[in-house]
Amino acid sequence: MFLSLAAFLQDWEKEEESTQRMLDALTDDSLNQAVTAQDRTLGRIAWHLVTTIPEMMARTGLILESIDEDAPVPDTAQEISNSYREVSNIIATAVRAQWNDQTLLEKRDMYGESWVIGDTLKDLIDHQIHHRGQLTVLMRQAGLKVPGIYGPAKEDWAQFGMEPPQV
pTM: 0.92
Q: Are 60 and 25 in contact (CB under 8 A)?
A: no
Walking along the chain (167 residues) 10 residues at a time, the average pLDDT comes out as: 97 97 98 91 96 95 85 96 96 97 97 96 97 95 93 81 78
- Report the pLDDT value the prediction gives residue 37, as an integer from 0 to 100: 87
Residue 122 pLDDT: 98
Sequence ranges of the domains in the chain: 5-160
pLDDT score recorded for residue 164 = 76
* Topology, domain 5-160: Four Helix Bundle (Hemerythrin (Met), subunit A) (1.20.120)
